[in-house]
Structure 1
């Protein structure tokens, strides 16, 4: 079990969630994550709701804030070869604690697969200089989160069945046992924003 946000979000069995994106004109964009009973488990508010670029909020099914996701901008980003995002968890005293950070190399060239996107967690869960990485291509909804030993811990896909119409607004995420689901959805929210999808302005 790896409870990065809370052990409440670590299941002893694999779970599959449905992600439904909201257009910018409806509730300011973002997306909702539902379980097999269509109950909302998580939601993400993008900058259409918050009015701030590179800032997102991950909420639970009761709309309580779990994580503040913030992209680092300004001079740091201009001088860096990477785009950095951090996920903060607020405690009951209001102080913010970094749960994980995601680093993506900046590139002028369009790419068809995610290269070099690394995730570090606090506390660390591996002895490498990174704990997880992204494999595949998020805009195509064919990507995975892989741990430092090469194990797939979460997979994003369309899961299209025969005769079923595909929709760019609906996709699926399967999360392995013991992996913090809130962490996975937080990573998806950042990828969604990086690629200018439902959470971006």
Structure 2
């Protein structure tokens, strides 16, 4: 398993969009920017030089399924769609997202599942309908009340870091919107 850190900057852990992703050696590999576009929030996953890697727009603020789409770069063109994620049901104590790759147009079976809660500061990402865990996130404990929130994410070999970070960003956004 490989590990990365996700750090929420600032004293207030509910500040939107201030995520920095580093390797365990603290070298930055991604940052997350929060943008507002026509009242629908979107996040950008960018590299350390500020180049967009992924665009994560929320499809509809009024929807109960919290559908998000993820596109290559700074695009929202259907040809650049990588995957979409939506909540499995409208009301949940812990958030469960079903993830569908772009070529899975029927969405009869999920390609991945993420289950967790930002309130509990943990989540697990599974492959398909199996119990195979491809990544896990948990909060790093600290005695300092004013320290940045730091999360450790362990990722199975061969799994794309940007994919995992995008899923965690979506979970974070949904939980921020719901006050979780």
> Structures share a fold, TM > 0.5?
yes
The total of aligned residue pairs comes to 169
State the 4+ residue runs in structure 1 displaced beyond 6 angstroms.
Answer: none
**Counterpart residue number, 1:165:** 143
Alpha-carbon displacement from aligned partner over 1:118-148 (angstroms, at most 9, x marks no partner): 0011345xx9611111123232122101111
Q: Greater relative contact order (Cα 8 A, min sep 6): structure 1 or 2?
A: 1
Shift of 1:155: 0.2
Shift of 1:15: 1.6
> Secondary structure of the residue that 2:66 maps to in structure 1?
strand
Q: Map residues 182-193 of structure 1 onto 2, 5 A cutoff.
A: 182-193=162-173
In structure 1, the gaps of 5 or more residues are 1-13
- The reply to whether residue 118 of structure 1 matches residue 98 of structure 2 is yes
Higher percent of residues as strand:
2
Larger radius of gyration: 1
Q: In structure 1, how many angstroms separate the alpha carbons of the residues matched to 2:103 and 2:21? A: 26
- The reply to whether residue 89 of structure 1 matches residue 72 of structure 2 is yes
RMSD: 3.2
Q: Map residues 5-154 of structure 1 onto 2, 5 A cutoff.
A: 14-23=1-10, 29-47=17-35, 53-73=40-60, 77-78=62-63, 81-90=64-73, 97-104=80-87, 105-107=89-91, 111-115=92-96, 117-123=97-103, 129-148=109-128, 149-154=130-135
Contact 1:89 1:96 in 2 (8 A): no
- TM-score, normalisation: structure 2: 0.78
Distance 1:53 1:95, change over 3 A: closer
Shift of 1:63: 1.9
Distance 1:123 1:20, change over 3 A: same
